Chains A and B, each alone.
Chain A
Amino acid sequence: MDDLRTVSKDVDANNTKISAKNVQVYYGDTHAIKDVNVEIKERTVTAFIGPSGCGKSTFLRSINRMNDTIDICRVEGDIRIDGKDIYDRDVDPVQLRARVGMVFQKPNPFPKSIYDNIAYGPKIHGLAKTKAEMDEIVEKSLRRGAIWNEVKDRLHAPGTGLSGGQQQRLCIARAIATEPDVLLMDEPCSALDPIATSQVEELIDQLRESYTVVIVTHSMQQAARVSQKTAFFHLGNLVEYGNTDDIFTNPKDPRTESYISGRIG
């Protein structure tokens, strides 16, 4: 039984993709992330859970340097992707964000056609030389985003005309188009209905074959459903990090237990 589960869930899950050591994040005088150490495995879905304001989104945003855009925000410590310090002086944040894609809470397609939504990133990064190559990237990305069949006949219709769930899968396809290794998702389903949520969850499970996915979610059931590893944050601390199965059946820290079982704590 154990073996079956390991085979189906932990595909290539042994290599560390993202390694964080002694990470501190400050917003002005506020110490938002306190000494977080975590090793995120390659081709694994890792869920960050915790009450509002616990720092999970802040930590997620420091993985592709989105916090750089906030003036008063300061990140200390060491975050490495494939062993490379992403806060090193020679790292271009724009290039980094092509490799570390991000999907947000509310679907935010560009006010452009479906085709252009996908083509935008590859164009900027010069990933396609010809129209044919770009067509290929668009189709591949939409297929990986599990939305190709729904939009293939209207690629030049505006992306904003799609349903919420379709828009979110379009945004995931857009994030994939620049061929990232890592996908960060900040509550990707909180604005979606249950059916669209299931479709995005199914997509996340497929994406695990090619990408390292880190997802912030308020839904503990979602974390339990889609992730293999779960990290619980509380008041800026990483309280517990481990296999999702263990966290939800037998957590080691009483704070984790209190939170996931819906108690005041």
Chain B
Amino acid sequence: MTTQHIVSAFDRDLVGAQAKVMKMAGLVEEAMAQVAIALETNDLAKADAVRKNDKAIDALDEDIKHECARILATRSPTASDLRTVLTVMSISSNLERCGDYAKNIAKRTTVLTNATPINGVAAALRGMQNAVSSMIKDVLEAYIQRDVARAEDVRDRDNQVDEMYNTLFRSLLTHMMEDSQNITACMHLHFIAKNIERMGDHTTSIAEQVIYLVTGEMPDEDRPKSDLTAFTTPEDLGEA
């Protein structure tokens, strides 16, 4: 819908709420990029900044929810307007969670600077991080352009992140079994990997919201999922 509402303040409300989501998305992208650098370079000041900046993301989320409640109460949006408000609320929640995961990674970075480095894990994490960052970048582009094909592509790519996470999970398990000295670092690295994997899930959820916003239909649940770690035991490692 490109035409304007008869009540122009309604247009301003909708544009305003979406602008806040984009601002929030910018902060989340920045947090993810900064925390990745902090982790790789053991930059504690940077990690600390990411933790502090999460407050701004949380505040925006609250602001957006408040704004959406006001729009629902006062404007009674219907059809694509209603879907706009609903998706803004949902995407805001997804972004807020991504912000929390970045903050959590920043906390663990502080512990990891004092722990034994684990070979090869940094590169694997970087791979996951890059994959999720590019998913977020694309899903935001899909949101702005109302591009369903692009959103579907993002949704399908979550599979790759899951596979990277599986591989890393098994590798961390192996490290821990080889030497119990590695356990502290490996546990934290595992949570970091899990956080990134969860960010991928939230990004997928945003992609689904974009599809709903444009088509009015939620996509089917049967997308391929590859996170198998819930069923992985030490005995499985021998088969790999």
A residues sitting closer than 8 Å to B (CB atoms) are 220-221, 224, 248-251, 254, 256-258, 260-265
Contact = CB atoms under 8 A, between A and B. Distances in A.
B5 A250 contact: no
B41 interface: no
B3 A258 contact: yes
Interface string B1-20: 10111110010000000000
A264 B78 CA distance: 15
A261 B78 contact: yes
Contact of A221 (B76, B82, B217): B76
Interface string B55-81: 000000000000000000000111111
Contacts of B4: 263-264
B1 A261 contact: yes
B117 interface: no
Nearest to B75: A262
Nearest to A258: B3
B83 interface: yes
Contacts of B5: 261-263
Given A250-B216, A262-B10, A220 B3 contact: no
24 contacts: A220-B78, A249-B78, A249-B79, A249-B216, A250-B79, A250-B83, A250-B216, A256-B79, A257-B1, A257-B80, A258-B1, A258-B3, A260-B78, A261-B1, A261-B77, A261-B78, A261-B79, A261-B81, A262-B5, A262-B6, A263-B1, A263-B3, A263-B6, A264-B3
A234 B236 CA distance: 66
Nearest to A221: B76
A124 B206 CA distance: 64
Contacts of B217: 250
A191 to B, nearest CB: 21
Given A249-B216, A250-B216, A250-B217, A261 B80 contact: yes
Contacts of A262: 5-7, 10
Given A249-B83, A250-B217, A263-B5, 13 more contacts: A224-B78, A248-B78, A249-B78, A249-B82, A249-B216, A254-B1, A257-B79, A258-B3, A261-B78, A261-B81, A262-B7, A264-B4, A264-B6
- Those 6 A-B pairs whose CB atoms lie nearest each other, nearest first: A250-B216, A260-B78, A261-B81, A263-B3, A248-B78, A257-B79
Nearest to A257: B79
Nearest to A224: B78
Interface of B: 1, 3-7, 10, 76-83, 216-217
B150 to A, nearest CB: 21
A224 B78 CA distance: 10
A258 B117 CA distance: 60
A16 to B, nearest CB: 27
Nearest to B212: A250
B184 to A, nearest CB: 45
B1 to A, nearest CB: 6
A249 B30 CA distance: 35
Contacts of A258: 1, 3
Contacts of B3: 258, 263-265
Contacts of A257: 1, 79-80
B212 to A, nearest CB: 10
A260 B10 contact: no
Contacts of A254: 1
A35 B216 CA distance: 29
A261 B7 CA distance: 10
B102 to A, nearest CB: 34
A262 B79 CA distance: 10
B207 to A, nearest CB: 19
Contacts of B10: 262
B16 to A, nearest CB: 17
Nearest to A256: B79
Nearest to B11: A263
Contacts of A260: 78-79
B203 to A, nearest CB: 24
Contacts of B77: 261
Nearest to A250: B216
A262 B82 CA distance: 12
B83 to A, nearest CB: 7
A251 B79 CA distance: 7
